[in-house]
A and B are shown apart, each in its own frame.
Chain A
């Protein structure tokens, strides 16, 4: 709140600070997407949005956004609003609300609401027109449950021959939002003290990106989970570490992009670890596309591995039937996200006009090590953070196909 007030005051003082005239730009973007799965009993959890199930619907990938950019000398103010449907209700957010000051040709400072830069396309994730895919590779992109931070960014930029080097440091980032453990169960996610380093090296055709982020995270433990933990503590067990609350998370990533005359390649690998109940996750994907005039067909393959092997529950004291039952409940919580997913995709993009593209994508998704180990399931908070495929208890594991068709624009 303090940052927003400061930013507002800074924006109001722009005319006093600058001698140059204002250069104002208004731009808008959107995505009209139809998506669905071919199998009932499954849900495709994606980021923090509505689920995709076996009924084709316009959500969750449909959205509309607008941005106003005001440039005044070395100051740039940007405000971007995004409107989309989240869990059956319309949600409006500021996805950019910041003031940038270019100190000189190499250094810049930005204050306010800033989109995360963790992955290659984190900053432009809502700008579907800019991407080849119709649905982002969730095996990697769902590692990051939030898209924006309120904080401070310092960046260094240097042109070295044909290459452009950029290093950015995001400090004191904070964010809070409602997340969904499943479609009907809300939880509060709070992220603060986020400090990140992003490094990119870019030429006309090639881009390398590496990043590291550390955040203090807080997700409300579910009531059932709390009851299980408290129950096991009664038996003299130290259960302090079995929580989502007041923990730290680290994300490392490395990405590569190639844009040739016709050939397009994207590849990215990311690793997430936390001392909370969230699993340790490693994910990667590769995309290859080939541009033939306005048509660009592509194939994409991604997989991620999530496990909580660092939580060894075998030492938990279970002297009687009640404590054994409680421990099984805890194991459920751990095992629910202890799975791996593979996604093979085929798709195409057709550029209908400058600023307008039609895209289609089919994903074949398979999972392994999925599900709870006891007959009663205990959902773990933050399940949707892992995104991806969830299915009703008792349904046999099999390949699921997701279909996405979209019309994307940006002007």
Chain B
């Protein structure tokens, strides 16, 4: 029984970890937290010299920005309002969790986060 509880807890922990995924064919193997911030706030569109396409995952959106980027919903909203209304940039495209694999298979420049285990290359696991 104890083993079952420990197994369940560990599984939940592993499953709830936020992970950043790219396609298996992507040349990218790792990403730092600072690089994640630069990409998700669209300070750059390049990662280690490679052009990338950034996606937000509707299902894990709030957790990602709170856990990984340490930003509250209000701060994120204000940031993108400023970017949009100053004509600088628009936020990353938001996609459904069920569409992630389709996008990763189709686009080897795609980068997306998820708390689920997917058949794709993990380049970052948030502790």
Contact = CB atoms under 8 A, between A and B. Distances in A.
The answer to whether A and B interact is yes
Given A29-B85, A127-B85, 5 more contacts: A25-B90, A76-B87, A76-B90, A80-B87, A410-B85
Contacts of B86: 115, 123-124
Given A69-B90, A105-B45, A354 B85 contact: no
Contacts of B106: none
B82 A67 contact: no
A23 B82 contact: no
B84 A27 contact: yes
Nearest to B38: A159
Interface of A: 23, 25, 27, 29, 67, 69, 71, 76, 78, 80, 96, 98, 100, 102, 105, 110, 114-115, 123-124, 127, 129-130, 157, 159, 161-162, 164, 204, 351, 354-355, 410-411
B81 A23 contact: no
Contacts of B90: 23, 25, 69, 71, 76
Given A69-B87, A123-B86, A355 B81 contact: yes
B82 A124 contact: yes
Interface string B62-74: 0000000000011
A87 B90 CA distance: 35
Given A69-B90, A354-B73, A130 B82 contact: yes
B78 interface: yes
A96 B87 contact: yes
Contact of B81 (A96, A127, A161): A127
Contacts of B126: none
A67 B74 contact: no
B85 A80 contact: yes
B48 interface: no
B93 interface: yes
Interface of B: 34, 37-38, 43-46, 51, 73-74, 77-78, 81-82, 84-87, 89-90, 93
Contact of A27 (B46, B74, B85, B89): B85
Contact of B87 (A78, A354, A411): A78
A164 B51 CA distance: 18
B74 A25 contact: no
A159 B37 CA distance: 11
Contacts of B34: 161-162
B77 to A, nearest CB: 5
Contacts of B82: 124, 127, 130
A98 B87 contact: yes
Contacts of A410: 81, 85
Contacts of A78: 87
Contacts of A71: 90
14 contacts: A25-B84, A27-B84, A67-B85, A69-B84, A76-B87, A76-B90, A80-B87, A114-B87, A127-B81, A127-B82, A130-B81, A161-B34, A162-B34, A354-B77
A115 B93 CA distance: 26
Nearest to A29: B85
B111 to A, nearest CB: 15
Contacts of A114: 87
A110 to B, nearest CB: 8
Tell me which of A23, A69, A76, A98 has the highest count of chain B C-beta atoms within 10 A of its own C-beta: A69
Nearest to B73: A354
